[in-house]
Chains A and B, each alone.
Chain A
Amino acid sequence: MPENDDAADARVDRVRSIALSEDWAATVVGLLLIVLVLAGAFPGWLVP
C-alpha cells in the first residue's frame, strides 16, 4: 500500500474513533441534562 494510503487509513481511523467518542459523550451529556432538569437543578433561564 502506498505511503499516502497509510496516512489516509489513519485519517479514517481517527474519524471513526471521534465518532465513537461522540457517541458516549452525547449519551452522557443528554442523560445528565435530563436528570438535572427533572431534579429541578437546571437553571430555568438556561432553557432556550
Chain B
Amino acid sequence: MSTSDTSADAADRPLPQTPDGRATWPWTVAGVVLVVALALLVTWLSEAVPEAAEGTAWSGIAEGVEYPIYAIALGLLGNLVLSATGQRDRLSGAFRTEFFIKTGLVLLGASIDLGVIAGAALPAIIQAIVLVSAVFAFTWWLAGKLGVDQRLRALLASAVSICGVSAAIAAAGAVQARKEQLAYSASLVIVFALPSIFLLPWLATLFGLPPAVAGAWIGGNIDTTAAVSAAGALAGEDALQIATIVKVTQNALMGLVAVALTAYFAFRVERTAGSARPRWADLWHRFPKFVLGFVAASVIATVYLGLVGSAGKAAISDVNALRNFFLTLAFISIGLEFRPGPLREAGWRPVGVFGAATVFNLAVGLGLAALLFQGVATG
C-alpha cells in the first residue's frame, strides 16, 4: 500500500470544514483546483525552463531539474503560504497523495512490458523478503534497546522496512496504535524520504550503478511509494520501472506483516480476552489492491502492443503523459501535506531509531540490489 504515502497524515488533520465545524465539499473542490493548477504549472516549468536556459551557463542545471523537483518544491511553497494564511486544513481534503500515486502507478504498469515484470519478479520477491525481514528485525531490536513504546516500535519498524506511511497505517490498525503515534511515524517517513529523493539517484550515478541495480536500490530503500517514483524518475525511465516493481512487491508483503503484528500483539503483548484475533481474511483485506491494477495494466498494454504493433506506441505515450501528471499531483500533495509538528513532540529516540534503520536499510539494500539485479533486463 502505500505508501506514503503521506496521507496517514490525515490521521492528524481535520476533515475539510467551515469555521463552525461543518464539513464542506466546496473547500475540497477548491483544493483540487489548486493541486491541478500547480501540476499544470509544473508541466509548464519543466518544459519552459530548459528552453529558456538553452545556450546559457544554466543549461545543464535547467536540464537536470525535472518535474518531481518542481512539484515537491511548489508543494512545500504552497504549504507555507496556506499554513501562514490558515487555509491548509480547509483545502486538505484534496491533498490525496495515496490516490494520486496509486493511480499513477497503475498507469505506469502500461509502460512496462509483462516480460520485464516477469524477469524482475523473482529477484524483487527475494530482495523484498530479505530486506523487509532484516530491516524490520534491526529496527524492532534497536527500538527495544532504546525503550521506545511497543506500539510506536511496531509502527516505526513497519514504516522503515516496508512502505512508509501505508505500512504504518496497516500496522497502526494491527497493534491499536494511537493517532499521535501514526501521525508521528508518518512525519518521520516524509522527513527522511524527501532528501532521499535527491540523494539516492545522485549516489547511484556516483557509484556507476546500472539502471536495474539503481532502481532496485531506490525501490528497496525509500519508504514512501511516491518518493520512490520521484527518485526513480530522476534516475531514468529504466530505473523507474525496476524501482516500481521492487516497491510494488514490498507493498504486497504488507498484508503478511500486518497479520503477523496482529497475532504478536494479540498473543504476546496484550494477552487480554478482548484482543483482536488475526484472521486469514485480513491478508486479503490488507492486500494493496492497486498492485493488481499495476499488473493488469501491464497485461493490457502488452497484449495491445502485440495486436497493433508499433502503431500503438503513440497511445502508450499518451498513457505515460497521464501517468506523469498523476505522479506530479502526488508529489505536489507530499509538499502540501508535510507537517513537522508531531516530530517535535516525541523526543530524539524514535528519530535515532529511524535514522539508524535507514542507514542499515541503505547498506543492506545496496548489497542485495547489486547481487540480485546485476543482470536483470530493463525496458
B182 CB to closest chain A CB (Å) equals 6
Chain B hits for A44, CB < 8 A: 318
Flag if B172 contacts A12 (CB, 8 Å): yes
Q: Which of A15, A24, A48 contacts B325, CB < 8 Å? A: A48
B172 partner residues in chain A, CB cutoff 8 A: 12, 15-16
Q: Is the CB of A16 within 8 A of B290?
A: no
Quick one: which of A1-48 are within 8 Å of B by CB? 5, 8-9, 11-13, 15-16, 18-20, 22-31, 33-35, 37-38, 40, 42, 44, 47-48
Near A by CB (< 8 A), chain B positions 313-336 give 315, 318-319, 321-322, 324-326
For the complex, what is the distance from the CA of A16 to the CA of B98, rounded to whole Å? 12
Within 8 A of A (CB), among B143-176: 166, 169-170, 172-173, 176
Q: How many A-B pairs fall under 8 Å by CB? A: 127
Q: Are A22 and B296 in contact (CB under 8 A)?
A: no
Kindly identify which residue among A9, A25, A31, A34 contacts B176, using a CB–CB cutoff of 8 Å.
A9
Residue of A12, A19, A23, A25 with most chain B CB atoms under a 10 A cut-off? A19
6 interchain residue pairs of minimum CB distance: A30-B106, A26-B102, A27-B293, A23-B289, A8-B179, A26-B103
Known: A29-B106, A31-B300, A48-B325. 17 other contacts (CB 8 A): A12-B177, A18-B7, A19-B98, A20-B289, A23-B102, A23-B289, A25-B99, A26-B99, A26-B290, A27-B292, A28-B293, A30-B326, A34-B107, A34-B301, A38-B301, A47-B322, A48-B324
